[in-house]
Amino acid sequence: MKSRQDKTTDGSEAKQSRAAEKHPLVRQIPLWSAVAAAVGGAVVVGAAWGTTAFLSRTGNHVIAKVGSTTITQAELANKLESTGGTQTLQQMIDNQLIKDGAKKYHLTATKAEVQSALSGMEAQYGISTTSELTSFLQQNHIQLNQLTAALKLQVLEQKLAERNVKVTNSEIQSYYNANKSQFTTTGQSKPQPLSKVKSQVVTAVKQSKAIPQSVLFSQLAKSDGLSILDSKYKSLNSQYSGTSTVGTGNVTGLAPSANSTNATGTGSASASNSSSAGASSTSSSNSTKNSAS
């Protein structure tokens, strides 16, 4: 999904920091991106975008009056479309491109993979109990099934971006050597052996070499056949007309997903940016161990 910066609504920055220390390889998944993927960007306009068509059909029905000035449902619909229409349409296009791309290349997101992504998000936001998760979802006006649907799309997007990535043993060893502190648990002076964290290292290296997000969507749009028919949204064409060069960028921050890495570089994992490019947490919190299923 397109990169956006998010903040939680409960002011839990300290909890997020502690969670990051506890799970140094948790993939960072901004909430906005996940929610937008699930509901097609409706949250941008307070979940009202989905009602725009209805509002426009009801025409000049007055819904509010300020002094002698009336506000009609049609005016509200036009405002909603002008403020969130392009963003919403782009999110809907992205979602469909991911689904079509996954189908074309026979890629699937397993329950375990979605659960791992959910566990990673929980760690990111410091969620450790069922009640905390429930409160978190309520504060952000989403349902658990919407969130898991969004995370499923992110898993598929990640797989599309890494579809042709090859990881060598030397890259694995280099990344591990440069990031041993990330594999040292609290109270231990030595890092865990490579044999125990190899899967996490492989994931991080793959993320560093994944196709950049803009290039991925450009490739998918070209393959799928994308047409923007309404002149109001023609500007979106530029979002899907990037180069088709496959990127092998260094490890960078994963907001919102690993394939937003820089397209330049040699393809080796960078130590300086490693902490935000780790794999999704492999441990599931007690609160949602079975939620994604």
This prediction has a pTM of 0.63
The DSSP H or E segment spanning 69 is strand 69-72
pLDDT score, position 279 = 38
State the distance between the two ends of the chain, measured CA to CA, in whole angstroms.
23
Q: How far is CA 209 from the centre of its chain?
A: 17
3-state secondary structure 25-93: CCCCCCHHHHHHHHHCCHHHHCCCHHHHHHHHHCCCCEEEEECCEEEEHHHHHHHHHHHHHHHHHHHHH
pLDDT score, position 49 = 39
Per the structure block, which two tokens stand in for 129? 């109990």
The torsion angles phi and psi of 72, rounded to 5 degrees, stand at: -100, 165
Nearest to 30 by CA among 116, 151, 149: 151
The Cα–Cα gap between 51 and 77 comes to 8
pLDDT score, position 45 = 32
Instruction: Report the amino acid identity of residue 137.
Output: L
pLDDT score, position 76 = 80
The torsion angles phi and psi of 62, rounded to 5 degrees, stand at: -80, 125
pLDDT score, position 129 = 94
* Tens digits of residue pLDDT in 141-175: 889 999 999 999 999 999 999 999 999 999 999 99
Question: Residues in the chain, how many?
Answer: 293
pLDDT score, position 58 = 54
pLDDT score, position 209 = 94
pLDDT score, position 101 = 95
Which portions of the chain are predicted below pLDDT 50?
1-29, 40-56, 243-293
* Cβ neighbours for 254, distance < 8 A, ≥ 6 positions apart: 27, 28, 29, 207, 260, 276, 277
* Cβ neighbours for 146, distance < 8 A, ≥ 6 positions apart: 35, 38, 39
pLDDT score, position 201 = 94
* Cβ neighbours for 277, distance < 8 A, ≥ 6 positions apart: 204, 207, 208, 251, 252, 253, 254, 258, 261, 269
pLDDT score, position 244 = 39
